[in-house]
Amino acid sequence: MRTIFRNVIVYILIGTACQSINQVENINKESWAIRMADKIIKNNNQLVYYNRKPGKEKLQYDVSMLGMAIDKLGSVDEKYSLYLQNYVDFFVDSAGRIKNYNPSEYNLDHINFAKNLITLYKRTGDQKYLTAIKLFVRQIESQPKTLSGGFWHKKIYPWQMWLDGAYMALPFVTQYAKEFNRPEWFDLATSQLIQLYDNTLDSATGLLYHAWDESKTENWCNPETGRSKEFWGRAMGWYIMALVDVLDFLPENHPQHDEIVGILNDVSDALEKVRDPETGVWFQVLNKAGEKGNYPEASCTAMFIYAFARGANQGYLPQSYLKIANNTFDNLLNEFIVEGPEGNHTITNICGSCGLGGTPYRDGNYEYYITEEQIDNDPKGIGAFVLAAIELKR
């Protein structure tokens, strides 16, 4: 009986994927998404070696996002989907084991890779992807939590919830709930999103701090609230993208559906208020555009464009946000794109990485955020750019 049921599920999944619902239609071959994807493929024969040398392969959340974005162009040319599949197959062997993945680290960043496993399982029906998916499911099921039930960002960061983790884990959790009939996971995803919002919200501005420490013991946090010190652009980028992506799978009749839509609208409103009027984009530290050392930042700008456009296109946000997204995309092109020969464009002003705690210790003050290395064509920026261009059909 179980075998029959499993076969029916596989049939349904493959059947519904025949037209590849993860891909998009009506993309102009001269679009920015195509141009950037072609540049990436031309310069990086294998995605696994994007900014990495052989022997240094790593399961990267940002490269996983970049591969997912490029795969959405598969309806234009199969090469874009094969580019993602080759990346995934580098890590997933025929038995479904995942190279360089250690579940005991309880690292939410790793979960982002699993979204692509669902895509490929639906597209191919290959059982190795399902086996690999179950490894991430087991991580989610045993992920350490705060006393209030929120996921720790990583095992090495006990009692801490980071906005980054919302995007890494929760769209996967919600899609898994929908595709594999686990409705209790809808509750799990919405609970995490709401907790993150409540624990990081600054009521005066509507902006969200990067992270929250339930123990209130970390040097990077406010000892009274547990919240970190600054409003980092990309942290809010991860969170708002998580909101729109979760809503794509969350049933409209779910008890928290309207609350999540409300949070999306409130966050979008707060972000629009701090968009820099001079450049028309967002800064690394969101509310301090005029302060010394702060700079216009490409990845968060692209993430907000994507979320505004997706939210408006899906009816979660007012249509006015689609106009904002388009206008900001023009500003992004002017501010961050450096055109090179043969379409070899560069996206500048991308913050390479920011975190909290760890060794050496990151105290999360203003100086820390504005002095972290900027990396041209970092996958976090390019991936978000491709997603934004696709959503706007630009």
With a CB cutoff of 8 Å and minimum separation 6, the contacts of 38 are 343
**363 and 220 Cβ atoms separated by less than 8 Å:** yes
Residues in CB range of 15: below 8 A, 6 or more apart: none
Q: At what angle do helices 114-124 and 2-16 cross, to 10 degrees?
A: 90
**Residue 54 token pair:** 């052989």
Q: How far is the CA of 352 from the CAs of 241, 298, 300, 375, in angstroms?
A: 19, 11, 12, 5
Nearest to 240 by CA among 218, 208, 202: 208
Separation CA 143–CA 155 (nearest Å):
8
Contact predicate 324/272, CB 8 Å: yes
- Of 38, 71, 164, 213, the active-site residue reads 164
Tokens of 14: 């493959």
* Residue 109 annotated among the catalytic residues of the structure: no
Tokens 């045993």: give the residue. 142
Half-sphere exposure of 23 (CA within 13 A, CB side): 23
**Catalytic residue list:** 164
